[in-house]
Amino acid sequence: MLHREGTKTIFVSLLILAVPYVLLTQLGAADWAVSAYLVLALVLLGLVLQFFRNPTRTTVAEAGDVIAPADGTVVVIEEAEEPEYFQGKRKQISIFMSPLNVHVNRAPVSGRTVFAKYHKGKYLVAWHPKSSTENERTTLVFETLNHGEVMIRQIAGAVARRIAVYVKPGQPVSVGEDVGFIRFGSRVDIFLPLDAEVLCKIGDKPSGGETVIARLQSN
């Protein structure tokens, strides 16, 4: 299954890849040259298609479970100051998404969206320490029924140029639900209460919508 964010990009890619093929055939290029280009075009198209893939995920979560909001590699686990919404220290888990990862962003918990804000910014590499506060980004906060609030921050990377968000304040979400998408390499930060139990470690490769990365305490 392909994600809706890829519709325009895939169509444009097909048009761009078709032009050299038409030129080669119209100009009477050698068969080997046409064949070589077709192989190259198929590889490039395959890379575009794999980037926008949207595999079906089965989310199984108990009360208090925090599910990974994205595929990728855990690169940060630390206590960090969160000045935008919480204005205090939180536990932060950061997941780096390479261009080869699935780039769908999913709700880490069930609850209600209480905050959503987009910020223009730079395009530092996604693992840069300042990318969380200086890059183009979107902040989403979800309020759970009995386990407090959880924030995710979608951060554009060096080549990402579009962050899509599908929820707004007041909108309910279900854990594992598709809430956004980031194109071409990026990062997602998760901010949890200080008493949350972290269940992942640096270097882990969680599956978005499936892997339990932390557990929240009841209010």
Per-residue tens of pLDDT for the chain, all 219 residues: 877 887 888 899 999 999 998 999 888 888 899 999 999 999 999 888 877 888 889 999 999 999 999 999 999 999 999 999 999 999 999 999 888 888 899 999 999 999 999 988 665 655 555 556 667 889 999 999 999 999 999 988 655 557 889 999 999 999 999 999 887 668 899 999 999 999 999 999 999 999 999 999 998
Q: What are phi and psi of 8, to 5 degrees?
A: -65, -45
Do 104 and 175 lie in one domain? The reply is: yes
Give the span between the Cα atoms of 203 and 152, in whole angstroms.
19
pLDDT computed for residue 129 by the predictor: 55
Do 27 and 78 lie in one domain? The reply is: no
Give the span between the Cα atoms of 3 and 44, in whole angstroms.
18
Give the span between the Cα atoms of 137 and 130, in whole angstroms.
12
Name the domain count of the chain.
Answer: 2
Do 128 and 165 lie in one domain? The reply is: yes
pTM of the model: 0.85
Residue 191 domain-assigned (yes or no): yes
pLDDT computed for residue 114 by the predictor: 97
Cα 44 to Cα 13, 47, 54: the distances in Å are 9, 5, 18
Residue 122 domain-assigned (yes or no): yes
Do 33 and 104 lie in one domain? The reply is: no
Give me the count of residues in the chain.
219
Residues noted as catalytic: 186
Do 33 and 133 lie in one domain? The reply is: no
Do 128 and 192 lie in one domain? The reply is: yes
Do 35 and 91 lie in one domain? The reply is: no
Give the domain range for residue 47: 4-51
pLDDT computed for residue 3 by the predictor: 77
Residue 126 domain-assigned (yes or no): yes
pLDDT computed for residue 109 by the predictor: 97
Do 76 and 33 lie in one domain? The reply is: no
Do 118 and 186 lie in one domain? The reply is: yes
pLDDT computed for residue 157 by the predictor: 67
Residue 119 is part of a domain; what is its CATH number? 2.70.70.10
The shares of helix, strand and coil residues in the chain, as percent rounded to the nearest 5, are 20, 35, 45
pLDDT computed for residue 186 by the predictor: 82
